[in-house]
Structure 1
Amino acid sequence: MAKDDGVQEASIDAVLAAQRAYAAASRERSKFGLMVPEAFVRGIRDLGYRSNGDAIAELIDNALQAYADRIDIVFGYDGTTSVKKPTQVAVIDNGHGMEPDMIRMAVMWGGTHRENDRIGLGRYGYGLPCASVSLGRRFTVYSATLGGAWHSVRLDLDALAEGAYTDAHGDIVVPPATVATLPPFVAEQIAQTHPEGWRSGTVILIDKLDRLEWSTAQGLRENLSRQFGVTYHKLRNAAAIFVDNEFVEPIDPLFLTSDFHLFDHDDDRAVALDPVRVEVRDCNGGNFCGAITLRYAWLPPSFGSVDKTRDAVGLNANPRFAILKDFHGVIFSRNGRLIDVQTRTPWTTFINNDRYIKVELEFSATLDELFGVTTSKQQVTVSPRIWELLQQAGLPKAIEQLRGKVKNAKLLRRLAALTPRPGEQSLSERAMGRTAELAHGYQRQFDLGLRASPYRLHFENLPGQAFFRIDRAGGARTLHINTAHRFYEDIYDGPSSTQEVRTALEILLFSFGDVLLDKSVESVIQIELWSRRLELALGMMAQHLAESDDFDVGPSSWIDAV
């Protein structure tokens, strides 16, 4: 968005005029009172932001509405020699700025000329003070309009408790804005990022930080960048966002936007269903109230993994997995800005396995009442009417369809893992090889050759012999399964068997063999006895099943039998 655009300049003039009118009217009405006692100001710190990122996002919203095209979240260290943990956080924007009276109003709860605005991101005027005190016990608002000097207002909760803001009448009063000098680290940042010269903008400086979730600058930077990348991905053309001088790459939480971060992290790709648009109309007159857009996607079960043959656990989780975990459920976006993620709907609850299905619901701010948007813009309470419209639009069916897609993909992945390619070991051979060293470490009675011995699977046809045997030959432990035994026909390769069952049986027999291999002749005799008993029992079971197939087990035959 160009700063010299004539249309934007006219819009900025109109905004500043609105600010002046609002400040003049409020001066007469409130005498710049803070509007609430000090206990409220302390309590408002517990408003309930889910994270530091949600709080700072309030300040980013204000910057976007001020037509900023660059927003910097900068860390300060207040003269300390360590740069590991910041002692200050500043949010710097190059928007239209505020005049002195408006700076004073901005520090107050509800002090905004945009109250009840349905066009932009803000609405109540609570964001700036609430967000600031949720991070630290003191914040300062610096601002300058085009051609104007820097002015500032500071609110210090410690000083407030000591009565520093209480006037002679006992009212808590916000001090007037005064000409100000920017802190050195903020001035240096502006000089570095705006070498062509500074025109206008606002700085929110928060210090006395006592509620940072991450104790290091690196942790703060990485987590904020990831969260803002998702939260503002649809507003990427409005402004460039930087955290500690690192550009925040936009991230589509559905991974459907080709030029966004992590879309092509590897060869796995998200698969979209067709989006759906839902119009919301007034129940009485049928007038258009707003629109809802539903986007759907499902992800391959290996989407969050480094090694695609294994689950995304521990070090095997790639950078995508953090997005899958943090934005798990129905994603709600208001005017292009993500505000909430919920795992419960009237029809279903999202569980861990549902991380690989994605549903996004975008709605316009004109529907705020129907979505129960909170003052902090980080939670929705969906009304029954909206749920009814979403049901009619096919949301429950779409969720089940997405689940079905992921389930089928998981089955194919499992089958591929169980089916070796030509020249590869079977899964049971690989599994036994990987566990051999562990077993050797804990079970010293195992043979010393177990650690290095590979495992091999072989089939043989020996009527009347044991259903399996294991031997050591050629440096390998070989499991021989007898295809002439009923175990093979009825269980291992029976009609109900699957590749997963066969692999589990192979591992079971390999494990028996490891214990029995070097014992005694009695072990071989014991296996032969097991085999005879197994042959007889399986024969009896087959005969029973054959007889039951000839008998009608329906209600009428039961009555006849009685």
Structure 2
Amino acid sequence: MRFGLIVPEAFVRGIRDLGYRSNGDAISELIDNAVQAYADRVDVLFGFEGGTSLKKPAQLAVVDNGHGMEPDMIRMAVMWGGTHRENDRGGLGRYGYGLPCASVSLGRRFTVYSAVEGGRLFAVTVDLDRLASGDYTDPTGEIVVPVAEPATLPPFVADAIAAAYPAGWRSGTVILIEKLDRLEWTTAQGLRENLCRQFGVTYHKLRGDAAIYVDGQFVEPIDPLFLTPGFRFFDLDADRAVPLDPIRLEARNPEDRTYMGAVTLRYAWLPPSFGSVDKARDAVGVNANDRFAVMKDYHGLIFSRNGRLIDVQTRTPWTSFINNDRYIKVEVEFSATLDEAFGVTTSKQQVTVSPFAWDLLLQAGLPKAIEQLRMKVKEAKLERRARALSPSPGERRLSERAMSAPTGLASGQGQLDLRPPRYRTVLEHVPDEPFFKVDRSGDLRTLRLNTAHRFFSDIYDAPAATPELRAALEVMLFAFGDAVLCDEPRSAHGTEGGLAPWSQRLNQALEMLAAHLLSGEEEDVGAGAWDNAR
């Protein structure tokens, strides 16, 4: 019996089942290798050979024009841990696991083709089915990687290279993945669109290093904070992301204060209509625009390593991101020299932030910045809600009409007041002030509702509140204001004397409100222009 460190067949099966979060994360490993090989163009190609329906690829290839590999290096590249960049902190790769792990996570067979400038094309193929049947096992029982042999590219790859490089493809590498059994998307269109969006975000800071194409479509860079002019979705419509000042800090060893690496924090908050088509409504269902998918997928703390996005996390030691926090954006970019502090995994798709790194972010003011961003979004939502609750130009609120009608109250001379005062409601945001005020200017009474007070969000504009309930609350507060502002002499009975006219005024105003509701039964008073945000 052999007691090697691993059982090869079980190891490969386990690597497949470890998996990546998505097809895009797996392919990103191959793009990383291309960028690190100094490629300035990377193509992700779909192959449909063998009579396969054009709806779903049968083959997938990643092509670059980097420096290429010699035959022995190709052989090493298909090995787990086979790299000349072991523990390299200057680029995107580090461990040498990316190429084989990513390839087998998509299909059961992969081939690495490569050529250096002026050299021939060689290739090595790894087929998991052949591995399981013992085809790669030598007489001593060792599983041996096949020798690199001269090769010819598949026609769909050769055609794509000829079109992309009319002057000739001088060097580079092709990773061909076949026996695809783990594609998430059932159509080439769905796969192309989602890969373009994911790669656009993942590599948006590296756009100057390499142009990326998916099935012939150029991948436009997408800043997940939507702050970069010229990038995709920045100017989708008139809404713009609002930045806070970025912060750059240095990480130093707490024992000897030696420099460990740099961290940059970027912040932005998004207007509440940022993800909507119809700006008066929330980004729900068909009303979500193309930005919303990015907002949803990159929801939380965004972590980037050497300019390449690797993870998004919704939990911190101080707070957790909820759905409403899609409208705040925070990016933590760190250098690869801080990999241990941020717990970067082998596949570069996850971080496990250490207490040291969390403390570094705390000292940089990250918790306060998150709360500031939340407050900005809350204020913007309240402002939008106030606009939605306001009547259209030329219209009056139901409560204003009810209060302005003749009341039949006796004046000081015992006669009816035939010229009732005018009423209006104003929504304003004044933190730490009372939930309402009523003031008077001539014959105009103004009810000022404070949107910063919980009365507004929990009662007046609660989820169960209807336009009728809001009108009734306005009438009640108007009546109270009338009692307080009344010029008539107060009764000698103190508080009761002040409450009596308010109670009477409220009763009569509610009667008028009921009369207005009865006369308007044929129209939908609950769906007025001031309630569009529901």
2:161 corresponds to: 190
1:135 equivalenced with 2:106 (yes/no): yes
Q: For residues 304 and 89 of structure 1, what CA distance do their matches in structure 2 show? A: 33
Question: Residue 138 of structure 1 aligns to a residue in which SS?
Answer: strand
Q: For residues 497 and 253 of structure 1, what CA distance do their matches in structure 2 show? A: 34
What is the percent sequence identity of the aligned residues?
71
Alignment of 1:520-535 (within 5 A): none
- 2:407 corresponds to which letter in structure 1? P
1:116 corresponds to: 87
Q: For residues 151 and 264 of structure 2, what CA distance do their matches in structure 1 show? A: 46
1:122-173 superposed Cα distances (whole Å, 9 cap, x missing partner)? 0000000000000011111000010111111111111111111111111111
Conserved? CA contact 2:302–2:330, under 8 Å: yes
1:325 corresponds to: 296
1:213 equivalenced with 2:184 (yes/no): yes
2:353 corresponds to: 382
1:226 corresponds to: 197
Q: For residues 101 and 51 of structure 2, what CA distance do their matches in structure 1 show? A: 27
- 1:507 corresponds to which letter in structure 2? E
2:97 corresponds to: 126
1:360-399 superposed Cα distances (whole Å, 9 cap, x missing partner)? 0010000111111000000011110111111111000000
Question: Residue 84 of structure 1 aligns to a residue in which SS?
Answer: coil
Q: For residues 102 and 461 of structure 2, what CA distance do their matches in structure 1 show? A: 58
1:305 equivalenced with 2:276 (yes/no): yes
1:396 corresponds to: 367
1:175 equivalenced with 2:125 (yes/no): no
Give, in angstroms, the shift of residue 423 of structure 1: 3.8
Give, in angstroms, the shift of residue 490 of structure 1: 12
2:32 corresponds to: 61
Choose from 343, 346, 356 the match for 2:317: 346
2:340 corresponds to: 369
Q: For residues 34 and 179 of structure 1, what CA distance do their matches in structure 2 show? A: 33
Distance verdict in 2 for CA 1:306–1:543, change over 3 Å: farther
Conserved? CA contact 1:54–1:378, under 8 Å: yes
Q: Which runs of 4+ in 1 moved over 2 A?
A: 33-36, 423-426, 456-465, 489-511, 542-547
Greater helix share, structure number: 1
Give, in angstroms, the shift of residue 283 of structure 1: 2.1
Question: Residue 411 of structure 1 aligns to a residue in which SS?
Answer: helix
1:284 equivalenced with 2:284 (yes/no): no
Gaps of 5+ in 2: 410-419, 423-435, 439-444, 473-494, 501-534
TM-score of the two chains, using structure 2 as the length reference: 0.77
CA RMSD of aligned residues (A): 3.2
Q: For residues 27 and 37 of structure 2, what CA distance do their matches in structure 1 show? A: 16
1:281-330 superposed Cα distances (whole Å, 9 cap, x missing partner)? 12222111100000001110100000000000011000000010000000
1:77 equivalenced with 2:48 (yes/no): yes
Distance verdict in 2 for CA 1:285–1:510, change over 3 Å: closer
Q: For residues 133 and 378 of structure 1, what CA distance do their matches in structure 2 show? A: 17
Q: For residues 329 and 77 of structure 1, what CA distance do their matches in structure 2 show? A: 38
TM-score of the two chains, using structure 1 as the length reference: 0.73
Conserved? CA contact 1:34–1:109, under 8 Å: no
1:507 equivalenced with 2:451 (yes/no): no
Choose from 463, 466, 470 the match for 2:407: 463
Give, in angstroms, the shift of residue 346 of structure 1: 0.4
Q: For residues 288 and 68 of structure 1, what CA distance do their matches in structure 2 show? A: 31
1:475-503 superposed Cα distances (whole Å, 9 cap, x missing partner)? xxxxxxx999xxxx999997768788399
Choose from 19, 22, 39 the match for 1:51: 22
Conserved? CA contact 1:89–1:205, under 8 Å: yes
Q: For residues 221 and 5 of structure 2, what CA distance do their matches in structure 1 show? A: 38
Choose from 113, 117, 127 the match for 1:156: 127
- 2:216 corresponds to which letter in structure 1? N
